[in-house]
Amino acid sequence: MATRDTARDTAGEPAPAAGAAGPAREPMSRPAWIAAMAAAMAIVFAAALLLPWWRQQTLAREEAAQAGAMATSEAAYPATVIPSRTPAPTAVAVVPLDGSAGGTQVIAIQNILPPSSPLAQEIRVAQSRFWQIYGAALYELDESRLPEVASGEALEFVIGQVRRLRAEGQAADVRGEHLSTIFDASETKAFIHDKFVNRSQSLDATTKKPIAGTPDTTYPEYIHVFERIDGEWKMTHFYSTTRMSS
């Protein structure tokens, strides 16, 4: 009889209230804990190995995109640089960048470099790239890439030209051929007599439409100095045989 009363009392006990703590769980066995830790460490180790690779791939994609954009930009502003087929003058009077007549000097054109020589071809490539990037700067009114192709006095001058146009609300579409004679050249420095067959146009800075009154083809002549700086040829001096404003 006592046994039946006990069973009845147990069966009649109310169920645990909601939210009450249930029976305690058994702790994870040691082999399972070790396996979980090993898996976590493997994930961390794999991430540490993959992160540098992912960064390298991202950097490579960014560099490729930048190189593509640079190539597209340079292709949009072609510069034709060819050896001059007519003899250069034996000497020219050049005007300093500030236009001061008192500083005019005479430069003798001597020791002309054969156009077919490897050094002449290398310098012409640098000259062409200068005009491509300078042409882009004058059209887009953005001087940020000019340090790639110019240094020192020449860099200051070409940056000043871009800023002057921008202040005047103008841009320029630089077109024409550069007939160049390279002289007094070495592996580190070269002089260039550049006769520019100039068909450039002045543009409105916003619309990029030609401004009325742009002159017909002109033939200005320059003396440029290129120097090899940190392995790269850059223009360092920019002289004109005619007066130029800076």
- CATH number assigned to the domain comprising residue 148: 3.10.450.50
**Considering just the CA atoms, what is the radius of gyration of the chain in Å?**
37
Q: CB neighbours (10 Å) of residue 238?
A: 25
pLDDT of residue 180: 96
How much is the average pLDDT of 139-160?
Answer: 96
Residue 9 lies in a domain: no
- Please check whether residues 60 and 95 belong to one and the same domain: no
Question: Tens digit of pLDDT for each residue in 86-141?
Answer: 888 899 888 766 555 566 788 999 999 999 999 999 999 999 999 999 999 999 99
- Please check whether residues 147 and 134 belong to one and the same domain: yes
Q: Which positions ≥6 away from 246 have C-beta within 8 Å?
A: 97, 98, 99, 157, 160, 161, 164
How much is the average pLDDT of 198-215?
Answer: 88
Q: Is 223 helix (H, G, I), strand (E, B) or coil?
A: strand
Q: Is the pLDDT of residue 28 over 70?
A: no
- Please check whether residues 71 and 96 belong to one and the same domain: no
- Please check whether residues 156 and 182 belong to one and the same domain: yes
Alpha helix positions (H), 107-237: 118-140, 152-167
Domain boundary among 46, 75, 104: 75
- Please check whether residues 102 and 178 belong to one and the same domain: yes
Q: Is the pLDDT of residue 71 over 70?
A: no
pLDDT of residue 240: 84
Residue 28 lies in a domain: no
Which has the minimum average pLDDT: 84-93, 147-156, 214-223?
A: 214-223
The percent of the chain in helix, strand and coil, each rounded to the nearest 5, is 40, 25, 35
Judge whether 83 and 194 are in contact, CB under 8 Å.
Answer: no
- Please check whether residues 59 and 156 belong to one and the same domain: no
Q: Is the pLDDT of residue 82 over 50?
A: yes
* Number of domain units in the chain: 2
Residue 170 lies in a domain: yes
Q: Is the pLDDT of residue 21 over 80?
A: no
- Please check whether residues 235 and 140 belong to one and the same domain: yes
Integer Cα distance of 172 and 240 in angstroms: 19
The angle subtended at Cα 138 by Cα 135 and Cα 142, nearest 5°, is 110
- Please check whether residues 120 and 167 belong to one and the same domain: yes
Judge whether 136 and 128 are in contact, CB under 8 Å.
Answer: no
Whole-prediction pTM: 0.68
- Please check whether residues 57 and 169 belong to one and the same domain: no
Confidence of residue 42 (pLDDT cuts 50, 70, 90): confident
Residue 41 lies in a domain: yes
**Better-scored residue on pLDDT, 224 or 242:** 224
Q: Is the pLDDT of residue 76 over 90?
A: no
pLDDT of residue 243: 41
Sign of CA dihedral 26, 28, 31, 32: positive
Q: Is the pLDDT of residue 40 over 70?
A: yes
The mean of the pLDDT values for the chain is 80
Range of the domain at 236: 77-240
- Please check whether residues 91 and 155 belong to one and the same domain: yes
pLDDT of residue 7: 45
Q: Is the pLDDT of residue 36 over 60?
A: yes
Integer Cα distance of 183 and 117 in angstroms: 12
Domain boundary among 23, 54, 75: 75
pLDDT of residue 123: 97
How much is the average pLDDT of 219-233?
Answer: 95
Cα 228 to Cα 121, 181, 182, 186, 216: the distances in Å are 14, 18, 15, 10, 35
